[in-house]
Chains A and B, each alone.
Chain A
Amino acid sequence: MPILVIAEHDKAGLKAATRNTVAAARALDGELHVLVAGADCAGACAATAALEGVSKVLCADAAHYTDQGAENIAALIVSVAGAGGYSHLLAPATTFGKNVMPRVAALLDVAQVSEIVAIDSADTFVRPIYAGNALATVKSSDAVKVITVRTTAFDPVGDGGAASIEPITAGPDLALSTLVSRELTQSERPELGAASVIVSGGRGLGSGENYHAILEPLADTLGAALGASRAAVDAGFVPNDYQVGQTGKIVAPQLYLAIGISGAIQHLAGMKDSKVIVAINKDPEAPIFQIADYGLVADLFDAIPALNAAL
């Protein structure tokens, strides 16, 4: 039976998370189709068709998919799922996928398996529970498996495919909700979820001004994304979408620099799969040092400019 991935995109191109989700889907046995729902999304469809391992792109182009609202997209996925006889429906465990997929699962009367990090077999998956303090292997008895994928657990697929693009009929506009406004943080930096280096700051920075003044030059030097602990976000240093942790972004870069972050378990849940972790904190007892590959007990206001200069 074929497998369906729901693409996350911005009309013109794909969000990086889609590549990881396709990678997870490739670990399953079946022809791989990707659904792109949007308005004027030809660019995203073309990018999807070029993905390694994808055999068909289903393109639902309609004005009422512009906002990617859960109600309309979920209804579309359910109708596509029924018509196509898919065994698995997968989406990234981003705010997009988390918003849409449980709705799909409920409409199909099946369970959802959230944030899988490994695939044991067609019906058995591994997922973290309790903020990653335990890994549960769960087996689904449902005919259709609805899955969200923790993107950091699967290496993204590259290009090299040449899938066919098939336009499909859009579903009706349910008109249950309307988007009033959207404010996306403008940044020249890499996306937090896809960055290979992340400079992350915590309460130790003391203020939003310090956060920017101290961390941005280092992030610029390293070509890094900026992240933050919940404490730093709650204190108003940076916007909410900087938050790394159990309920924020889950990241696993090559290098994670935790600066002035003590290391609450909820924060560790979001970054402990990073390849190399560096912790810089003036408190030698900070829990972050227990998981860091390299720890430096120092005043960050001296250490970070010195580190930046040394690089």
Chain B
Amino acid sequence: MKILVPVKRVVDYNVKVRVKADQSGVELANVKMAMNPFDEIAIEEAVRMKEAGVASEVVAVSCGVAQCQETLRTAMAIGADRGILVSTDAELQPLAVAKLLKALCDKESPDLIILGKQAIDDDANQTGQMLAALMNLPQATFASKVTVAEGKVSVMREIDGGLETISMHMPAVITTDLRLNEPRYATLPNIMKAKKKPLETVTPDALGVDVAARLTTVKVLEPAGRSAGVMVADVAQLVDKLKNEAKVI
């Protein structure tokens, strides 16, 4: 069984982003970048399935600028067998990424595609569902447990108000939630080994995909700040403030 895992290069989750003064976006120069945390969970899950003998090959894919190769090397250090970079300097929106991934899936024919549920930069939460739609495949978003048995995959999903489990034929698309697993730290030997793993580069043109943006960013603003309020000395003062000043209780 082959698993394809798309990974995105994003601003590291510890970085507090700043909006650019010209309102054109957020400051990305000299900002630490990393793999999207949900994609790390996706890679980890695929690698665990390979280690358990369920999967035979894990292919990592990244779409974007040349530096996404670093993200692919990280994926390979966790345990992906090879990487594919869809190289472009164009701004990629979820629909375009889903189309690129579909083109790759048509070539690679994976049995499972595991993606992060959302990227922590644009917070769109779309690509997995879009890919599933374009390929007419079943989807299980927000996965917290994945089990493969007898040609079917069963996924426990985190939904508002609880959990549900669905069963799908493969191929299928899964998107990961936070509690699916805890990704390992890549060890130095594995980081070294990852440098020797195959990494193929393709272009959107070669895949025949139009990646033109459908949404134009008009402006990006800093949200209205919330200023710190007052510190109260004790519970009695807090109750008084809530009753008489804020009037919320």
Q: In this complex, what residue of B is CB-closest to A178? A: B167
B123 and A111 contact, CB distance less than 8 A: no
State whether the Cβ of A216 lies closer than 8 Å to any Cβ in chain B. Answer: no
Query: Once the chains are docked, how many angstroms separate the CA of A122 from the CA of B123?
Result: 22
Q: Which residues 254-276 in A have Cβ within 8 Å of B in the complex?
A: 254-255, 265-266, 272, 275-276
Partner of B133, one of A74, A98, A130, A278: A74
A139 and B216 contact, CB distance less than 8 A: yes
Q: How far is the CB of A229 from chain B (nearest CB, A)?
A: 12
**A residues within 8 A CB of B238?**
278, 294, 296, 307
A114 and B124 contact, CB distance less than 8 A: yes
Query: Once the chains are docked, how many angstroms separate the CA of A104 from the CA of B98?
Result: 13
Q: Which residues 266-290 in A have Cβ within 8 Å of B in the complex?
A: 266, 272, 275-278, 289-290
B224-247, CB under 8 A of A: which get 1 and which 0?
A: 001011111011101101100010
**A residues within 8 A CB of B214?**
110-111, 140-142
State whether the Cβ of B46 lies closer than 8 Å to any Cβ in chain A. Answer: no
A111 and B93 contact, CB distance less than 8 A: yes
Query: Once the chains are docked, how many angstroms separate the CA of A98 from the CA of B219?
Result: 24
State whether the Cβ of B139 lies closer than 8 Å to any Cβ in chain A. Answer: yes
Q: Which residues 147-187 in A have Cβ within 8 Å of B in the complex?
A: 176-185
State whether the Cβ of A83 lies closer than 8 Å to any Cβ in chain B. Answer: no
**A residues within 8 A CB of B235?**
296, 298, 303, 306-307, 310
Query: Once the chains are docked, how many angstroms separate the CA of A95 from the CA of B172?
Result: 19
B248 and A95 contact, CB distance less than 8 A: no
Partner of A182, one of B121, B162, B167: B162
Which of A29-37, A48-56, A205-213, A238-246 is the interface stretch? A238-246
Partner of A296, one of B136, B140, B234: B234
State whether the Cβ of A291 lies closer than 8 Å to any Cβ in chain B. Answer: yes
Main SS of chain A's interface residues? mixed
A124 and B160 contact, CB distance less than 8 A: no
By size class, the interface of chain A is 35 or more
**A residues within 8 A CB of B16?**
133, 265
State whether the Cβ of A193 lies closer than 8 Å to any Cβ in chain B. Answer: yes
Query: Once the chains are docked, how many angstroms separate the CA of A294 from the CA of B236?
Result: 12
Query: Once the chains are docked, how many angstroms separate the CA of A94 from the CA of B169?
Result: 26
A129 and B139 contact, CB distance less than 8 A: no
State whether the Cβ of B134 lies closer than 8 Å to any Cβ in chain A. Answer: yes
A255 and B94 contact, CB distance less than 8 A: no
Query: Once the chains are docked, how many angstroms separate the CA of A127 from the CA of B142?
Result: 21
B117 and A247 contact, CB distance less than 8 A: yes
A177 and B126 contact, CB distance less than 8 A: no
Q: Which residues 1-35 in B have Cβ within 8 Å of A in the complex?
A: 11, 13, 16-17, 19, 26
State whether the Cβ of A128 lies closer than 8 Å to any Cβ in chain B. Answer: yes
**Quick one: given A131-B120, A176-B169, are A106 and B215 in contact (CB under 8 Å)?**
no
Query: Once the chains are docked, how many angstroms separate the CA of A71 from the CA of B141?
Result: 12
Partner of A176, one of B129, B161, B168: B168
State whether the Cβ of B95 lies closer than 8 Å to any Cβ in chain A. Answer: yes
B141 and A134 contact, CB distance less than 8 A: no
Query: Once the chains are docked, how many angstroms separate the CA of A107 from the CA of B102?
Result: 13
**Quick one: given A134-B26, A222-B249, are A105 and B126 in contact (CB under 8 Å)?**
yes
Q: In this complex, what residue of B is CB-closest to A295? A: B231
A295 and B230 contact, CB distance less than 8 A: yes
Q: How far is the CB of A305 from chain B (nearest CB, A)?
A: 9
Query: Once the chains are docked, how many angstroms separate the CA of A275 from the CA of B247?
Result: 11
Q: In this complex, what residue of A is CB-closest to B228? A: A290
B218 and A139 contact, CB distance less than 8 A: yes
Query: Lowest 6 CB-CB distances: which A-B pairs, in order?
Result: A102-B129, A293-B229, A111-B214, A106-B130, A176-B138, A102-B126
Known: A102-B128, A310-B239. 19 other contacts (CB 8 A): A71-B132, A102-B94, A111-B93, A134-B17, A135-B221, A135-B223, A136-B217, A180-B154, A182-B162, A182-B163, A230-B178, A234-B178, A240-B178, A255-B248, A276-B248, A292-B229, A293-B230, A294-B231, A295-B230
Residues of B within 8 A of A (CB): 11, 13, 16-17, 19, 26, 38, 93-95, 98, 117-118, 120-134, 136-142, 144, 154, 157-169, 172, 177-179, 214-223, 226, 228-232, 234-236, 238-239, 241-242, 246, 248-249
In the assembled complex, 15 residue pairs joining A and B whose CB atoms fall closer than 8 Å, in A order, are A70-B132, A102-B130, A103-B129, A106-B130, A106-B131, A114-B124, A128-B123, A133-B223, A177-B167, A182-B159, A222-B249, A241-B159, A289-B231, A294-B241, A310-B235
